[in-house]
Amino acid sequence: MDTAVAATRSREAVDRLVSVNGAGAFARANPLQRIWRDLATTTRHGVVNPDLRREIYGRSLLGLTEQPTFTV
């Protein structure tokens, strides 16, 4: 769950940087574009999905088997 939270916060931070930088942040020459794109992609992976991680963490705290029921 900590990984999901860290990934989400990182994406939020980079989103703010992109917003402050303006449209120029999306130019191929701007390294921020690649960082934003990479974070946007990786933070949507199932391993760091916050809702799925919360369910697995909660089940673990309750002593239930870690078989998530979350579906997209």
| pLDDT, tens digit (0-9, with 9 covering 90-100), for 27-72 | 999 999 999 999 989 888 878 888 888 888 888 889 887 676 666 5
CA 19 to chain centre: 18
Rounded CA-CA distance 2/23 in Å is: 32
pTM of structure: 0.70
Query: What is the structure's pLDDT at 20?
Result: 95
